[in-house]
Amino acid sequence: MERLVFDVETVGVPWESLDSGVQESLLHSARSDEERQGVQESLSLFPVTAQIVCVALYSPEQDHAAVFFQAPQGGASQVREEKAVFVPCTEKELLIHFWEAAGRAKQVITFNGRGFDCPFLLVRSAANRVRPTVDLMPNRYSNQHVDLMDQFTWFGAVRRRFSLDAWCASLGVEQPKREVHGSDVAALYASGEYMTIARYCLGDAMATAQLFDLWSKYMRFPGPEQTPR
């Protein structure tokens, strides 16, 4: 496999399951009931207080995707489509599947993977005692991991950071009609809408792949060891 594009979705653990000391630490700077509520609603943003519920893996060369997702309440079965397979599993199993695929890839591609997806994958792998097969956080200027958030800000030269949806709209990348947003994932997970989360996650991975193709063709200036695509 030459390239692997991936995206993850996460859900925070129940607030009540956190140690009282952790709760106190998280609420330390909250000054109002609204701020305290905001802290509890942001648990999905941090690998210490959340778990991965879905990972979508897409191979541009094969034009095929595999989506591994948690379905703890049951009722979900493997679904095969023309260009994707959806597989229900545990968090540990989806991490094993991810590292197997990542270990075969020569290059990984993400959107804000360094700031979100990769730290989650590494921390949750440690929590599940799953050994990584590849360094997801190499020198950020290397070609081993292309994080489009880095590329679209020229590694911080442009200070404003736009979302995946904003970049798709700006560069004319068509996406399915958005009926789900990242803030909806926790509620969907609680209500057992696992396939909805899986399709949303796959949509982000596919959009990232299209943005990478545009970046490669029109925005990247080849270095001395690179050739134009």
Q: What is the pLDDT of residues 151-183, one digit of tens each?
A: 999 999 998 999 999 999 999 998 765 677 878
Query: What pLDDT score does 176 carry?
Result: 63
Closest CA relative to residue 65, chosen from 53, 79, 76 = 79
Find the length of the chain.
229
Q: How far apart are CA 196 and CA 213, in angstroms?
A: 26
Q: Tens-of-pLDDT digits for all 229 residues of the chain?
A: 699 999 999 999 999 999 999 999 999 888 999 999 999 989 999 999 999 999 999 999 999 999 999 998 776 789 999 899 999 999 999 999 999 999 999 999 999 999 999 999 999 999 999 999 999 999 988 889 999 999 999 999 998 999 999 999 999 998 765 677 878 899 999 999 999 999 999 999 999 999 999 999 999 876 554 444 4
Query: What pLDDT score does 227 carry?
Result: 45
- Position 133, amino acid: T
Which long-range contacts link 149-152 to residues 24+ away (Cβ below 8 Å)? 149/110, 149/111, 149/112, 149/113, 149/114, 149/115, 150/114, 151/215, 151/219, 151/220, 152/215
Tokens read off for 178: 């958005």
Residue with tokens 């009282």: 20
Q: Taking every pair of C-alpha atoms in the chain, what is the biggest distance, in angstroms?
A: 56
- Give yes or no for a contact between 15 and 23, defined as CB atoms under 8 angstroms apart: yes
List, in order of start, the domains of the chain with CATH numbers: 3-219 (3.30.420.10)
